[in-house]
Amino acid sequence: MKALRRARRADRGYTLIELVMVILILGIILSITFTRIESFSPKYSLRAAARRLARILTLARSQAAVQGRPYFLKYKLEDARYYLLVPFEDQAPPPTDTETASTAPPIPQIHWEPMFAENLPDGIRFRDILLGGTQKVEEKEVNVEISPFGITQGHVVHLTDGKGDYTLDVNPLTGHVRFHEEYWEPPALEED
């Protein structure tokens, strides 16, 4: 008899009050979880900004090697912006002198155009950049050369959100980027 009553109750489904209570409990759990995730968000947005910047460096390094021409990564510290300066050949007019035209090939003229421009996320800015590990630049534009031979001008980029810092350390020979979740400076070079 009890089994028959349970079967009849299961056929009826859930009452409206039961559904409202479940939705209310889920809402409370989600609001608590969302609040906690938001408190971690600045740390993760700082890390994500550093990873995006590292991707642009990797792209520039591979494209410089493929094209056989240097690329430049331009940091605009005051605007919290960075972009690649990509080389393009100008179409040179053919020489008018017939003797010059037959003996010397035209020399291509190259100009660099900005591409892959990115802004740092809101609230994140460049704190400073160390060129060559020693020269600190805080409020200017900085151009970093990426050669077609895989050599990147060594530099250290410090990002901040006002609460914490994040550092990208670019190895000049390999182009490998190391990340530090703090304001990190390379150790001073030992002098003989």
Q: Is the pLDDT of residue 24 over 50?
A: yes
Q: For the full predicted model, state whether its pTM sits above 0.75.
A: no
- Report strand pairing: 155-160 vs 125-131: antiparallel
Stretch 28-40: mean pLDDT: 64
pLDDT tens readout for residues 74-89: 999 999 999 999 988 8
CA-closest candidate to residue 76, choices 153, 132, 157, 147 = 157
**Residue 20 pLDDT level (bands cut at 50, 70, 90):** confident
How confident is the model at residue 183, as a pLDDT?
A: 93
- Report strand pairing: 165-170 vs 155-160: antiparallel
Q: Are 157 and 53 in contact (CB under 8 A)?
A: yes
pLDDT tens readout for residues 89-114: 886 665 566 555 566 666 778 888 99
Task: Tell the CATH topology of 18-91+107-180.
Answer: minor pseudopilin epsh fold (3.55.40)
Whole-number percent of the chain with pLDDT over 90:
35
**Residue 6 pLDDT level (bands cut at 50, 70, 90):** low
CB half-sphere exposure, 71, CA atoms < 13 A: 27
